Structure 1
Amino acid sequence: MSGWLVVGLGNPGPTYAGHRHNVGYLVADLLADRLGARFGAPKGLRTELAEGRVGPIGPDSVKLAVMKPRTYMNELGGPVSGVLSYFGWSPDHLIAIHDELDIDPGQIRVKFGGGDNGHNGLKSIRRSLGGSGDYFRVRVGVGRPPGRQDPADFLLSNFSAVEKKDLGVEIERAADAVESLVTVGLERTQSAFNS
């Protein structure tokens, strides 16, 4: 039976938990909650994994596996391809949730394929998929750093107090976009969520 693999991009451990770069982990946590599933650590897969179903109850529901890799961002491609193989799913059933500097905070974009835009997590996934970027992305806007702050330092810092006020809503919308993507498809999801 086919299903979807959703990977929240982030870095493991408490040091990174509140960083902008870990917004994918936050969405993955919410999706697992919605599935009523707990994260486990399947042997040899270097990830935390939660599984459940979305959509209408019965034969039309869709299997969803949500993962948070236990490797750092620049090495998470290995666990992603490992879990795809584990389930026997192809990359066109992969959804990566990640932070995006070129999108303003409070905005989300859903797309299929495209470049990596300098994102180390996306680069790692591309390497693990033999150079292909043909998978879905839910891009959560974090905006550009203020002034001359280095983008890497900005991403590896916590959300500001102002940003935190709206963060819960954005995490909910990103999780909604994932569920929409697997139940109604790309076009309807883009028209609903791409602001």
Structure 2
Amino acid sequence: MIVGLSNPKNKYHNTRHNIGSWYIYSLAKYFNTLLKEDKKFFGFIASINIHSNDIRLFIPNIFMNINGIAIYKISSFYNINLNEILVVHDDLDLEAGKLKLKYSYGHGGHNGLRSIVNIFNKKIDFYRFRIGIGRPKNKKEISSFVLSDPTIEETNLINISIQYAIKETLILLSDIS
């Protein structure tokens, strides 16, 4: 499963914190599929096939700090282990548009990742694409920063990194098939 962390779509879709959902929408578009809302999983879901792997795409449509509930619910339903999930999320520690693939345990202070780690309640490594959004100069502005829209320049850089992430996803999944 590939999950793009997010806050509820209608209000927060264009914000920095929802970059994970931007990635999922771009990946769905790449595979010419549409995400459909599934209220029992508290989010949007689609299925694609990459290198003979059936992959579920998922975007939680609940607040970031409780995304783990939705991810756990859908992964339990489809019998998907945490180490079989690629989580895509924004990252304050990377400059806007920088991309990093990580396979480890932990949340690094990200509330969406913290929710996943707490809900799954296991020290299991899992894959993450960290997409940089940069960091505000003042630490007290972090909440308003992540919940605001990126500049046009940042949006362009982020969209380029999302296209790279899609290519890397195809490579990653070809290595495990």
The answer as to 2:139 corresponding to 1:134 is no
Please report how far the alpha carbon of residue 134 of structure 1 lies from its aligned counterpart in structure 2 after TM superposition: 1.8
What does residue range 90-109 of structure 1 map to in structure 2 within 5 Å? 90-109=81-100
- Indicate which of 96, 115, 119 corresponds to 1:124: 115
SS in 1 for 2:35: coil
Provide the residue aligned with 2:14 in structure 1: 18
Distance in structure 2 (CA, Å) of the matches to 1:82 and 1:105: 31
Deviation string, structure 1 residues 129-187 (Cα, Å, up to 9, x no partner): 114352110100111113565111111110112212323211211222222222225xx
Provide the residue aligned with 2:5 in structure 1: 9
- Indicate which of 141, 144, 159 corresponds to 2:150: 159
Moved more, 142-151 or 100-109: 142-151
Provide the residue aligned with 1:39 in structure 2: 35
What does residue range 47-126 of structure 1 map to in structure 2 within 5 Å? 47-55=43-51, 61-126=52-117
Q: Residue 36 of structure 1 contacts residue 52 of structure 1 at CA under 8 Å; is this kept in 2?
A: no
> Tell me, which stretches of 5 or more residues in structure 1 are unaligned?
56-60, 186-195
**Aligned partner letter, 2:127:** F
The answer as to 2:142 corresponding to 1:146 is no
In structure 2, relative to structure 1, the CA distance for the partners of 1:82 and 1:145 (3 Å cut) is same
The two structures have a TM-score, normalised by structure 1, of: 0.83
In structure 2, relative to structure 1, the CA distance for the partners of 1:108 and 1:41 (3 Å cut) is same
**Aligned partner letter, 2:82:** P
Identity %: 27
Aligned length: 176
In structure 2, relative to structure 1, the CA distance for the partners of 1:85 and 1:150 (3 Å cut) is same
Q: Residue 106 of structure 1 contacts residue 166 of structure 1 at CA under 8 Å; is this kept in 2?
A: yes
Q: Residue 47 of structure 1 contacts residue 68 of structure 1 at CA under 8 Å; is this kept in 2?
A: yes
Distance in structure 1 (CA, Å) of the matches to 2:80 and 2:159: 31
Distance in structure 2 (CA, Å) of the matches to 1:43 and 1:72: 14
In structure 2, relative to structure 1, the CA distance for the partners of 1:11 and 1:149 (3 Å cut) is same
Larger Rg: 1
SS in 2 for 1:159: coil
Provide the residue aligned with 1:192 in structure 2: none
Please report how far the alpha carbon of residue 13 of structure 1 lies from its aligned counterpart in structure 2 after TM superposition: 2.7
Deviation string, structure 1 residues 53-95 (Cα, Å, up to 9, x no partner): 013xxxxx11111101111101111111111112112111111
**CA-atom RMSD, angstroms?**
1.6
Moved over 6 A (4+): none
Please report how far the alpha carbon of residue 38 of structure 1 lies from its aligned counterpart in structure 2 after TM superposition: 1.4
Distance in structure 2 (CA, Å) of the matches to 1:147 and 1:45: 36
The two structures have a TM-score, normalised by structure 2, of: 0.91
